[in-house]
Copies of this chain bind each other. A is one copy, B any other.
Amino acid sequence: MKKATPPAKPRAGSYHHGDLKRALIDAAIHIINRHGRRALTLRAVAAAAGVSKNAPYRHFTNKEALLAAVAEEGFRELTRRMEETARRTDDPLERIIQESHVYVSFALGNPAQFDVMFGFDLMSFAQHPTLLQTASVSAQHLLDLVRQCQEAGIVRQGDVVRLAFGAWTLIHGFATLAVNGLVPFPIGKEHELQEILREYAMSYLEGMQERT
């Protein structure tokens, strides 16, 4: 079962519903992850939140705005999980391996949301500044991670953006293909996924060591 991030403050002193905006976002995330992108209609979201079909317009100017909120919440949750994982160890190598796992797990557990987060057709990042900002926090986290690897001598010196983007590329590609069921070997069990990601991360990092 998926629990909403922090308890979402019931805000006792609120108007009728309590915190409908929050409830709508949660409902939208639930629907999109369970039933796919096409099932995400404003009507369905409103119904799931137990509210009439045009109530959402009090909180979102239109459907796209709700979708942007779904994506934004996705980035926030992803960052939260990665940071939580980072706190568990000091070893930057282990961090990068564990966080790769978190990234792919998030994608597998929230396939359609993940798709929206990186879907260019449905909306453009530029039009949703807070989304852009939230997404760049995730990116920044990765950047820091790679910088730590550089400092620890695991990864060679050089443009950290290029190095980090390479790592992201690998993990993001894995996540994308995994979501679409295109991984040609079993990753259903936790340890299988762990193992293969460890292998890939190690290989990538080896390739990223100082060149002779």
Contact of A171 among B118, B173, B205 (CB under 8 A): B173
Judged by a CB distance under 8 angstroms, whether A36 is at the interface is yes
Contact residue among B173, B206, B211 (Cβ-Cβ distance under 8 Å from A173): B173
C-alpha spacing A172/B183, complex, angstroms: 12
Query: Contacts of A181 on B, CB cut-off 8 Å?
Result: 120, 125
* B115 A111 Cβ-Cβ under 8 A: no
Contact B161 A172 (CB under 8 A): no
A203 at the B interface (CB under 8 A): yes
Contact residues in B for A112 (Cβ distance below 8 Å): 121
* Cβ distance A49 to chain B, nearest Cβ, rounded Å: 23
A109 interfacial contact with B, CB 8 Å: no
Verify A121–B185 contact, CB threshold 8 A. Answer: no
Across the interface, do B121 and A169 meet the contact criterion of CB distance under 8 Å? Answer: no
Instruction: Annotate A38-81 by CB proximity to B: 1 below 8 A, 0 otherwise.
Output: 10000000000000000000000000000000000000000000
A199 close to chain B: CB less than 8 A: yes
Among A139, A199, A205, chain B packs the most CB atoms within 10 A around the CB of: A199
Cβ distance A206 to chain B, nearest Cβ, rounded Å: 4
Contact with B along A84-115 (1 / 0, CB 8 A): 00000000000000000000000000011001
